Amino acid sequence: MADREFNMITLSIDTKTIQVPPGTNVLKAALDNGIHIPHLCYHHELSISGGCRLCLVEVEDQDQPVPSCGLTAAEGMVIQTQSEQLTELRRGVLDLFISDHPLDCVVCDKAGSCTLQEYAYEYGLKETSYEPTVSSTLFQDDNPFFLRDHQYCILCGRCVRVCDEIVGVHAIDFANRGFETNIATPYDGPMIDSTCVFCGNCVQVCPTAALMPVSRLQGGREWDLDRTISVCGYCGVGCEIEYASKDGNILYAQASEKGPANGPFLCTKGRYGWDFTTSPERLKHPMIRRDVAFDLGLTEEPWELPDTSPLDIRKPKVDEYFVPVDWDTALDYVSSQLADSVKNHGPDSIVGLASARCTNEENYIFQKFMRAVIGTNNIDHCARL
């Protein structure tokens, strides 16, 4: 079998010789090799925009600096990413960015993870040298998941591109033109009426405070939050999530960016469906129904299961119906009941229902248990229901 070999391109960036596959743009080549070039609109998973004008580099034998995101690496290319001219140009561009941006980093929740703030610091921009403007004061708080505060929006377009290219629902796009441009849903309708699936990928790729999770607001400074890397429990993809929490309470969840299955993206369940962790209804230990508990001699009072009509959808209070027990008691009871059923009615009297919430390993053991221990092929999964 023939080996497929790339003819790697060799180029020099800041005198460092690096090799990249053909078709790689110079910005990616630099970032992948630990060379820092400021950029706001570029994202490694999205198409190229070229709008922020920050990633300018100097190319040998060319007079004018060019945006490195739009420059395809060529053999023998010699690139400079730092120079007096480039610093001045980048500073000028950032000055224009912050001229149309509220400079309230002191109280802004994005402080610490805001890319604009990072570059303002790097280029020593305390304030703008131009007349401050506010191109948009639109504040949209129309859904429980994320906030759209347009005064912070720098129109990098990452949110539009992620919605188009990764999620594929095209819920938002640029509206109007020039200084009046803003990101909008069709006809400015509420988010819930658009095709938005509330996956929040736009929130994650947003470099500023324009898109923020509602749960996060005023919950603490970015650098004060605890970060826990985990795997999402909702489905078999197993996306790697980073939970940001304070004092044990989750403030927001985002992709850890390193998960092999999901990279920097999540779906709405992983990103916003974590409130079950602190739900009062969450089971923390095994429980046995009161009437059975009484029969087992674990409680002193007899109890009867109330007659409830199937139309009664009121959820029973867990404490009212169940008694907490230790694992041994619980497992003894379950195994004895299962064994009885197998003995009296045969192995096929039992069905096992697995869950996407379990890991692959757990589901594997479960079906092994059903087939080898119980002796039945009656096994199904919530995905089929």
Partner 1 sequence: MSREKLDQIAEQERARQSQFDKRVHCCVSTACLSAGAGSTIQALRDSVEAAPAGDKVEVVQTGCMGLCSRGPLVRVQEKSGEEVHYADVDSECAEELIAKTVSWDQGDEKPPELSPELKTVRERLETARKKRSLKKHVLSPDLPFFTKQFKVVLRDVGYVDPEKLEDYLAHGGYQALHKVLTEMSPEQVCDEMLGSGLRGRGGAGFPTGLKWNFVRREESNVKYVVVNGDEGDPGAYMDRTVMEDNPHQVLEGMMIAAYAVGANHGYFYIRAEYPIAVGRIRGAIRAARRRGILGKSVMGTDFSYSADVRIGAGAFVCGEETALIHSIEGKRGVPRMRPPYPSTSGLWGKPTLINNVETLANVPAIIKNGAEWYAQIGTEKSKGTKVFALAGQLTNTGLIEVPMGITLQEIVYEIGGDVPGDAEFKAAQTGGPSGGCIPNTHMDTPVDYESLQELDSIMGSGGLVIIDSTTSMPEFARFFMDFCVDESCGKCVPCRVGTVQIRTLLDKIIDGRGEPEDLDKLDALCKLVSSVSLCGLGQSAPNPVLSTLRFFRHEYEALIPCSA
Q: Which is nearer to partner 1, 82 or 299 (CB)?
A: 82
Q: Rounded distance, CA 271 to CA 198, Å?
A: 9
Q: Which is nearer to partner 1, 69 or 241 (CB)?
A: 69
* Region binding partner 1 by CB under 8 A among candidate stretches 174-182, 197-205, 282-290, 330-338: 174-182
Q: Is 27 in the site for partner 1 (CB under 8 A)?
A: no
Q: Is 129 in the site for partner 1 (CB under 8 A)?
A: yes
Find the binder of partner 1 among 33, 50, 103, 381 (CB under 8 A). Answer: 50
What minimum distance in Å lies between the beta carbon of 92 and partner 1?
4
Q: Is 112 in the site for partner 1 (CB under 8 A)?
A: no
The residue type of 180 is: E
Q: Is 67 in the site for partner 1 (CB under 8 A)?
A: yes
- Token output for 164: 């188009």
Q: Which is nearer to partner 1, 101 or 216 (CB)?
A: 101
Q: Which is nearer to partner 1, 121 or 174 (CB)?
A: 174
Helices assigned H by DSSP within the chain: 26-32, 84-99, 115-122, 158-161, 201-205, 268-272, 290-295, 318-321, 327-345, 360-368
φ, ψ dihedrals at 92, nearest 5°: -60, -45
Greatest Cα-to-Cα distance within the chain, rounded to the nearest angstrom = 91
Q: Is 181 in the site for partner 1 (CB under 8 A)?
A: yes
Helix (H, G, I), strand (E, B) or coil at 115: helix
Q: Is 96 in the site for partner 1 (CB under 8 A)?
A: yes
- In 215-292 the beta strands, taken as DSSP E runs, fall at 226-231, 240-246, 249-255, 287-289
Helix (H) or strand (E) holding 380: strand 379-381
CB 354 within 8 A of CB 327: no
CB 96 within 8 A of CB 205: no
Find the binder of partner 1 among 27, 81, 100, 256 (CB under 8 A). Answer: 100
Q: Which is nearer to partner 1, 91 or 371 (CB)?
A: 91
Q: Is 52 in the site for partner 1 (CB under 8 A)?
A: yes
Distances (CA, A) of 126 to 2, 38, 94, 100, 328: 57, 18, 11, 14, 64
Find the binder of partner 1 among 23, 92, 144, 316 (CB under 8 A). Answer: 92
Residue for token digits 């199937």?
Answer: 310
Q: Which is nearer to partner 1, 52 or 79 (CB)?
A: 52
Burial of 171 (0-12, 13-18, 19+ CB in 10 A): buried
Find the binder of partner 1 among 49, 245, 256, 363 (CB under 8 A). Answer: 49
CB 230 within 8 A of CB 243: yes
Q: Is 21 in the site for partner 1 (CB under 8 A)?
A: no
Q: Is 97 in the site for partner 1 (CB under 8 A)?
A: yes
Distances (CA, A) of 116 to 26, 159, 256: 22, 16, 21
What minimum distance in Å lies between the beta carbon of 89 and partner 1?
6
What minimum distance in Å lies between the beta carbon of 50 and partner 1?
4
Question: Applying CB under 8 A, which residues contact partner 1?
Answer: 48-53, 56, 64-65, 67, 70, 72, 89, 92-93, 96-97, 99-100, 129-131, 133, 135, 154-155, 157, 173-174, 176-181
